[in-house]
Structure 1
Amino acid sequence: MGEVRVGACSWTDRQLVASGWYPRGRRDAEGRLRHYASRLPVVEVDAGYYALPSRRNSELWLERTPEGFRFDVKAFSLLTGHPTRAGSLPADLRGVERGPALLDEVWRRFAYAVEPLREAGRLGAVLFQFPPWFAPGTGAEETLEACARRTAGWPLAVEFRHPGWWAADRADATAALLAGLGASAVGVDMAPGLPGSLPPVVPVTHRPLAVVRFHGRSPAWGRGSKEDRFRYGYDVAELAAWVPRLRRAARYADELHVLFNNCCGDAAVRAAETMRGLLSAPDRCR
């Protein structure tokens, strides 16, 4: 069975900092990350989606975490076709016309920023989360192929938000496409029964890494404020129901990352700690 790492999708979320999960004396930037890394072995850098990460931050993260700790970095919004405000770009790029030249420069800066993590063997994944309108089709497949070329040598993980990718009549083709690109499919847990709901599957498409992200099961998913979308506390029974799926995936992957994105207060880190406990219990089905 591959190594299973469980963590949360942020360690800097304001509500987490205010929740009391960080002890006194550990609430500054360095203290928070050191404390987080003493409790959980992987974290997702979701801030990379909202603004280009910096190389200096990558270097500091390496200094503040132990050997073996992993960072999964979420790709910047412009790289996945999401709307990107000019204000989220570096100041010197805000006046640049949107087009191939800008995209090339953003790719270059993103790669430069995460390279220290990759060189140190601490870059768990670069997560490309495509938008809900990114539907299966020739154009989307060409975009994925271009993404794979740009990220050659990176641990590439792909999360779809359009449910058509994992529909019963399409799932095998999607898995084969990602496998051919050397990309890890991202499985998800989310509220069922909504127009954009994806099935709770864990397709392992790339032996080195499998990824599952738990978004919470708020019925406000896809609308409302961030707090409305992610306000959800998993109970033990809901997490336990996932244990057989996760263990099965871990048998086919060298490493499995299980990340909680229900970032409201300390809900994500508490769920991660509970899931770690469940997965560390003896597997009585073996």
Structure 2
Amino acid sequence: MIYIGVTGWGDHDRLYGDGVSKRDRLREYGAHFPTVEVDASFYAVQPKRNGEKWVIETPPSFQFVVKAYQGMTGHLRGENYYKSKKEMFSAFHDSLEPYQKANKLGMVLFQFPPWFDCKRENVDYLRWCKAEMGKVPVALEFRNQSWFAPGMYEKTLTFLEEEGWIHTVCDEPQAGVGSVPLVLATTNRKKALVRFHGRNIHGWQKASGGQNWREVRYLYRYNQEELQQWVSRLRKLEESAKDVYVLFNNNSGGDAADNAKQMIDLLGIEYSGLAPKQLDLF
């Protein structure tokens, strides 16, 4: 099955219109898409009560892709509230319990920063992370080209497969060492992950040092031809993985939800089990 959704559910104004309050957005979101990426977990390990609330607000078959906390992937720049990495991972594990109990945890996404390059120290850390996550399905996304450089391409994919990581296929600007190429491969027979970041090369480079990176990095709207190219690619991934999760992250201009709906139409998918759309009061 191909699950299509977007990253987060709070910013997609055109998806909801004026009649849906912010507190009801996830309920309404579930009427449009069968999966979503939880990005709040990147900025802080979420209390269980949030996961419990989100699980209740979504249909029984709904799937969450939970982004790993920034302290787990080397992004943390503020205060560290944990005494050790072990304690940090333990707290994150606890936060996943509501999704697991409801059978709504698609996977956890570890997205590493551009400075996380291909070297022994980082390979060892990936092994440690995988061991700490245990049986939780985990996806891995790189932001450094060295992992797929000549001579490392096949080694990286073999490593992911042997260690049990879900390879994240990325559609993103090809902007040098701080981006990865399109690697149309699966490393897990049960699950695959595809993330659409847009193709705004200027914004991708500019955002690396700017304060308003959110406004420029993902400012891109895929056209019909670009999305059509992905139909056969997604079908190919579906042949080697039981479930393929597709997330659109190109939302600096509010385009992610529109592009996700276009992709659903292009694939001819009609999801069953979505939430009923909210009706007007009058």
Length-normalised TM-score, structure 1: 0.88
Aligned twin of 2:6: 8
Give the Å deviation of 1:102. 2.9
Structure 2 residue 135 is matched with structure 1 residue 157 = no
Give the Å deviation of 1:201. 1.9
Which consecutive unaligned segments of at least 5 residues does structure 2 have?
270-282
Give the Å deviation of 1:20. 3.5
Structure 2 residue 26 is matched with structure 1 residue 43 = no
Partner letter of residue 186 of structure 2? V
Aligned twin of 1:284: none
For residues 194 and 80 of structure 1, what CA distance do their matches in structure 2 show? 21
Asked if structure 2 preserves the Cα contact closer than 8 Å seen for 1:7 and 1:272, the reply is: yes
For residues 154 and 161 of structure 1, what CA distance do their matches in structure 2 show? 22
Q: Secondary structure at the match of 2:159?
A: helix
Q: Per-residue displacement from partner, 1:249-280 (whole Å, max 9, x unpaired)?
A: 11000100010111224311111111111122
Aligned twin of 1:68: 61
2:110 paired residue among 128, 138, 142:
128
Structure 2 residue 260 is matched with structure 1 residue 272 = yes
For residues 148 and 264 of structure 2, what CA distance do their matches in structure 1 show? 27
**1:1-286 paired onto structure 2 within 5 Å:** 3-13=1-11, 16=12, 19-29=13-23, 31-86=24-79, 93=81, 101-219=83-201, 220-222=203-205, 223=207, 224=210, 225-280=213-268
Q: Secondary structure at the match of 1:154?
A: coil
Partner letter of residue 218 of structure 1? N
Give the Å deviation of 1:133. 1.2
Give the Å deviation of 1:200. 1.5
Partner letter of residue 142 of structure 1? D
Give the Å deviation of 1:168. 3.7
For residues 77 and 99 of structure 2, what CA distance do their matches in structure 1 show? 25
Asked if structure 1 preserves the Cα contact closer than 8 Å seen for 2:191 and 2:245, the reply is: yes
Give the Å deviation of 1:193. 4.4
Go from structure 1 to structure 2 and tell me whether the alpha carbon gap of 1:248 and 1:168 turns closer, same or farther (over 3 Å shift): farther
Give the Å deviation of 1:192. 2.4
Give the Å deviation of 1:148. 0.6
Cα RMSD after superposing both structures:
1.5
For residues 179 and 116 of structure 2, what CA distance do their matches in structure 1 show? 14
Asked if structure 2 preserves the Cα contact closer than 8 Å seen for 1:186 and 1:202, the reply is: no
Q: Secondary structure at the match of 1:39?
A: coil
Matched residue pairs, number?
Answer: 263
Which consecutive unaligned segments of at least 5 residues does structure 1 have?
282-286
Q: Secondary structure at the match of 2:204?
A: coil
**What percentage of aligned pairs have identical amino acids?**
37
Task: Flag as ranges the 4+ runs of structure 1 deviating above 4 A.
Answer: none
Give the Å deviation of 1:47. 1.4
Q: Secondary structure at the match of 2:235?
A: helix
Partner letter of residue 92 of structure 2? F
Asked if structure 2 preserves the Cα contact closer than 8 Å seen for 1:118 and 1:154, the reply is: no
Length-normalised TM-score, structure 2: 0.89
Q: Per-residue displacement from partner, 1:105-155 (whole Å, max 9, x unpaired)?
A: 221111111111022211111000011111112111100100110111101
